[in-house]
Amino acid sequence: MKIPPDASREEKSRRVDKYWVPIVGKTLDLLACFESANENLTLEEIVRRTGIAHTTAFRILHTLVVRDYLSQSGRHYRLSRMRKKLTFGFANLSRQVSLAVEIQASLERAAAAAGIHLLVWDNDRNPDRAIQNAEEMARQKLDLALEFQLSEQAAPVISDIFLRAGIPLISIVNPHHGTGYFGVNNVRAGACAGMALADYATRQWKGKVDAIVLLESPMAGRTTHSRTVGVLRGLEERRGPLPKDIVHHLDGGGERGKSKTATQTFLRTLKGRNKVLIVGINDESAIGAVSALENAPGPIDAAVVGHGGSPEILELIADRKSPCIGTVSFHPELYGPELINFALPIVQGKSAQVYHYVPHELISKNSTR
C-alpha cells in the first residue's frame, strides 16, 4: 500500500515554488496510488492511500473519469487503458483454415482503423501449440487476448493462463469457461443447416431419407455437440422425430482429409440405401464429404451442407452438379469491427456483455445464382 504524501512536503513546495499548482499535485498523487492497470480501488481506499480530503478526491476522480483517465464500475475506479495505445493478442485457429484466415484479415483491418496494435499467433489446430502460444501471449503483458482454438481439453488451461496473468480473454467460435464469448449461436446455426437438409429431402425425395451423416469433431467437445444438437433439432422441426438408426455420427476431426476418409468408409456400408443427408461441422468437413462422394463406390443421391461460408465452399454451392447444397455462413468479414466494439468496454473496465453472437445465414444454390 502506498504511503500518503507528506503534507509538509506540499506546504514546502508552495513556499519555494511559486508555480506549484496544488490541485495538479493531488491529481498526480491520486493517479500514482494505483499500483497496476488492473487494480480496482474505492474512493475510501484512494483517500487512505493519498491522504487527500474525501470531497476533493471525489471531485478529482469524477473529472478523471469524464476525461477517460480513469474508468468507473459501481464504487470502484481503475486506470483507463485508453490513454495509451492498446495491444491485443490474437491466437488464430490455423493459417490453413479459410474461415480463420478471413477472420484474421477482418480483425487486422479493424484493429488498424482503431489504432490498436495487434499481435498474431498461429495455433496450427494443435492444442499443445495453443497452450504454448497462450503462455507467450501472457508474457507480452497484453491489454486483451483473443483465442480461437477448438480443443475442449486445452480451453481451461488457456483460460487459467490468462486469468493468472490478469489479461482479459475473449474466446472465439469455441466458448472457454470464464471468458467473454464471441461467435455464432452454435445451436441455432446447426438448426439452420438441419432445416435446409430437411427441406431439400422434402422437395427432391418426397421426404424419404436413408441416412443422416453428422461429420463432427469430438476434440472440440461441447462446440461440436451443440451444433450437432442444433442440426438434429432443425431436422425434427421440419420432419418430426427421427428414427435413431438412420442418424450416424462420424469423427471427421473438422479436417478435410479425415472427413473424406470417414465419409468414404461410411458410404461402403450403405448397400443400396442411397438417399443421404450430410452435414459438416465446418466447411472443411463438408468439402471432404463432397470429395468422397465424387469417388463413391456406387450411385449416391446426397445433399451436403457445411458451416462457415468459406470462398471454396461457395464455389461448390454455385456448381449445379455439386451435391453441396449450402453452407451456414458466419460472416467472417464482420468479426473484426464487431470484435473491437465488443472488446473495448472490457479493456476500459466498463460494464460489458459476456457474449456476442454474430449473425449466421444459410447460403444455398438459390441464393448464389
Helix then strand then coil, in percent of the chain rounded to 5, is: 50, 20, 30
Residues 55 and 171 grouped into a single domain: no
| 163 domain residue, yes or no | yes
Q: If you ran DSSP here, which 8-state letter would residue 111 be given?
A: H
Domain count, the chain: 3
- Using DSSP's 3-state secondary structure scheme, residue 157 falls into helix
Please report which confidence band the pLDDT of residue 277 belongs to, taking 50, 70 and 90 as the band edges.
very high
Residues 176 and 233 grouped into a single domain: no
Residues 213 and 310 grouped into a single domain: yes
| 103 domain residue, yes or no | yes
Residues 165 and 297 grouped into a single domain: no
Name the residue among 211, 266, 285, 220 with its Cα closest to residue 243: 211
**Mean pLDDT of all residues in 236-245:** 93
Residues 175 and 50 grouped into a single domain: no
Query: In the predicted model, is pLDDT for residue 151 greater than 80?
Result: yes
pLDDT digits (tens, 9 = 90+) for 280-325: 999 999 999 999 999 887 788 999 999 999 889 999 999 999 999 9
Q: Which of 82, 109, 131 is the last residue of a domain?
A: 82
Residues 98 and 200 grouped into a single domain: no
| 2 domain residue, yes or no | no
Domain with 97, as residue range(s), is 86-184+333-358
Residues 201 and 316 grouped into a single domain: yes
| 156 domain residue, yes or no | yes
| 1 domain residue, yes or no | no
Residues 113 and 233 grouped into a single domain: no
Alpha-carbon distance of 71 to 104, in angstroms, equals: 29
Residues 193 and 174 grouped into a single domain: no
Please report which confidence band the pLDDT of residue 369 belongs to, taking 50, 70 and 90 as the band edges.
very low
Residues 205 and 108 grouped into a single domain: no
What pLDDT score does 1 carry? 46
Q: What are phi and psi of 289, to 5 degrees?
A: -65, -40
Please report which confidence band the pLDDT of residue 3 belongs to, taking 50, 70 and 90 as the band edges.
very low
pLDDT digits (tens, 9 = 90+) for 40-97: 899 999 999 999 999 999 999 999 988 878 888 889 998 876 666 789 999 999 998 8
CATH of the domain at 239: 3.40.50.2300
What pLDDT score does 14 carry? 55
Alpha-carbon distance of 121 to 113, in angstroms, equals: 20
Work out the mean pLDDT of the chain and round it to a whole number.
Answer: 89
More confident residue, 234 or 349: 234
What pLDDT score does 235 carry? 96
| 31 domain residue, yes or no | yes
**Mean pLDDT of all residues in 223-231:** 88
